[in-house]
């Protein structure tokens, strides 16, 4: 456009100059017009140069435009390929993806044990779960109560009863297996800890203190007892004084956080790959040699609890084959918990599983975080067996009444165990104090626990986390049966 305009100006100027020449012959002011003509003639070369430069600029712009179009098409094809890859990734079952990630992690650990960058995937995955879980619990519980739809009815009482019952039974079964298969250990160096609970009273005091901890500190530190307490207080207060728009905002916030959790869980295969790589490359199979008998007793007791005792209790409440639910919880919750080794980090995974099982969100939003704190079957087994192993090593005879007291102490103490990896081990000195075992020896047992913790703590967390969903679902489905509502098809095998 500039080129055409310049040519028009040049031609117009030349025509004007000709008119000036013609009129200059007849006009008395010809000298003045001649001067103006001279000035205009000086401008003409500039106009010609402008026209030439503009033509070159237009050609350059045309080439740049064509190059930009080409790059845009290349970016479009790249994005289209990425979208197709993501769609293909999402179309594959999450469990299958996790198994592939597990296999890749093992292969990388054996082939390239020095590739530390692979381990970062596991650290990032666990860190993301631990970071979002406290926020998820707070907003979901607060939103449910603020909407006025939360009904903590008999189902909630049933869930708490099942959590506490199975934790006590786990401790009792650990006593029985320890008597049937007594083990002694070679004590390792004492483990160090800043805070070691010295008695049941101190454990319970800490548990009650956690209720009224600073709400911000509770979220930052993953104190789920405190998070639940303050979320309930906030939700109840919001229900009474919050406007509808504010309640809608709280609900939208809960939905947004839940969506973030889904994104994180969708990347679980990469996280599992990193976690498996870390375990295999760092420990190998050495842990099975020195403390193999103790480890076999721990894992065997936990498997007996997970595959025999818990399903039997679920059968009593459901009146049908519980194993489809058991295996689904172990597959979709226990597998992830096995590698994260943290009940707290697995809370988002459990909530997503509860949603798939069709459970009431108002119920599982409270029962799942609570289960991560008080449903500690694996922790009760670990505390009991490790304590009795220490007693056997020192030659202390444990009577049946003392064993029953140990079961109760282990069950209650396990409820105060941290929701982090290895939290139950620090409660061993508390249980050892029941038999007069010194703190030094008890801390050496803690050291043994950390040596075998790669497997022991993984199985323990898988048992605890899967049990959270199992018993939440059992309470919900039990209520369905009483109301005449059909149970899910995967559980009964009948189409509804």
Rounded CA-CA distance 361/347 in Å is 14
The rounded mean pLDDT for the chain is: 76
> Please, which pLDDT band fits residue 310 given cuts at 50, 70 and 90?
very high
Banded pLDDT at 221 (limits 50, 70, 90): confident
End-to-end, the C-alpha distance of the chain in Å comes to: 72
Confidence of residue 39 (pLDDT cuts 50, 70, 90): low
Q: Which residue has the tokens 């079952």?
A: 93
What residues have CB less than 8 Å from 239, skipping those under 6 apart?
145, 146, 147, 148, 247
pLDDT at 131 over 90: no
With a threshold of 0.85, does the pTM exceed it? no
- With CA atoms as reference, report the closest residue to 299 among 427, 95, 462, 426: 462
Per-residue model confidence as pLDDT tens digits over 436-456: 777 677 777 877 776 677 788
Which one is predicted more confidently, 187 or 174? Answer: 174
Convert 450-485 to b/e letters by CB count within 10 Å (16 or more is b): ebbbbbbbbbbbbbbbbbbbbbbbbbbbbbeeeeee
Residue 5 makes CB contacts below 8 A (sequence gap 6+) with: none
Q: What percent of the chain has pLDDT over 90?
A: 10
Q: What is the mean pLDDT of residues 195-202?
A: 50
* pLDDT at position 59: 63
- The predicted pLDDT at position 43 comes to 61
Task: Considering only the C-alpha atoms of the chain, give the largest distance between any 2 of them, rounded to a whole number of Å.
Answer: 139
The predicted model gives 48-53 an average pLDDT of: 54
Instruction: Read off the tokens for 260.
Output: 């973030």
Joined together, the tokens standing for residue 255 give 């939905």
DSSP 487: P
Average pLDDT on 282-294 reads 64
Which of the pair, 197 or 394, is modelled with greater confidence?
A: 394
């Amino acid at each position: 456009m500039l080129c055409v305009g310049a040519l028009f100006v040049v031609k117009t100027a030349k025509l004007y100059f000709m008119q000036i020449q013609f009129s200059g012959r007849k006009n008395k002011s010809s000298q003045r017009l001649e001067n103006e003509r001279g000035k205009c003639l000086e401008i003409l070369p500039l106009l010609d140069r402008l026209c030439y430069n503009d033509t070159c600029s237009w050609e350059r712009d045309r080439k740049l435009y064509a190059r930009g179009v080409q790059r845009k098409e290349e970016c479009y094809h790249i994005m289209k390929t990425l979208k197709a890859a993501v769609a293909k990734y999402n179309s594959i079952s999450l469990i299958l993806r996790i198994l592939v990630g597990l296999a890749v992690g093992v292969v990388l650990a054996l082939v390239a044990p020095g590739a530390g960058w692979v381990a970062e995937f596991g650290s990032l995955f666990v860190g993301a779960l631990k970071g979002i879980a406290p926020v998820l619990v707070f907003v979901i519980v607060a939103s449910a109560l603020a909407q006025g739809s939360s009904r903590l009815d008999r189902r909630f009482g049933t869930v708490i009863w099942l959590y506490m019952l199975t934790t006590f039974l786990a401790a009792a079964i650990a006593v029985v297996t320890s008597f049937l298969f007594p083990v002694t250990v070679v004590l390792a160096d004492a483990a160090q800890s800043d805070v070691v609970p010295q008695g049941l009273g101190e454990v319970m005091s800490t548990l009650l203190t956690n209720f009224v901890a600073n709400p911000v500190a509770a979220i930052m530190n993953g104190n789920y007892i405190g998070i639940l307490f303050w979320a309930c207080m906030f939700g109840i207060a919001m229900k009474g004084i919050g406007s509808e728009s504010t309640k809608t905002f709280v609900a939208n916030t809960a939905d947004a956080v839940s969506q973030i959790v889904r994104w994180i869980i969708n990347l679980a295969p990469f996280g599992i790959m990193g976690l498996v790589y870390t375990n295999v490359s760092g420990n190998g199979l050495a842990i099975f040699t020195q403390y193999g008998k103790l480890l076999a007793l721990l894992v065997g007791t936990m498997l007996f609890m997970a595959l025999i005792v818990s399903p039997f209790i679920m059968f009593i409440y459901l009146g049908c084959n519980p194993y489809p639910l058991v295996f689904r919880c172990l597959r979709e919750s226990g597998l992830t918990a096995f590698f994260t080794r943290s009940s707290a980090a697995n809370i988002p995974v459990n909530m997503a599983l509860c949603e798939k099982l069709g459970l009431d969100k108002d119920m599982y939003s409270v029962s799942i975080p609570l289960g991560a704190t008080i449903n500690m079957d694996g922790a009760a087994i670990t505390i009991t067996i490790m304590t009795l192993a220490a007693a056997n090593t020192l030659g202390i005879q444990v009577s049946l009444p003392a064993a029953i007291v140990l079961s109760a102490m282990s069950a209650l103490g396990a409820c105060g165990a941290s929701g982090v990896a290895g939290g139950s081990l620090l409660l061993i000195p508390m249980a050892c104090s029941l038999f007069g075992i010194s703190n030094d020896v008890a801390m050496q047992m803690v050291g043994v626990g950390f040596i075998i913790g790669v497997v022991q703590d993984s199985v323990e967390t898988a048992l605890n986390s899967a049990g959270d969903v199992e018993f939440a679902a059992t309470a919900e489905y039990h209520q369905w049966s009483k109301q005449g509502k059909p149970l899910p098809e995967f559980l009964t095998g009948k189409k509804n």
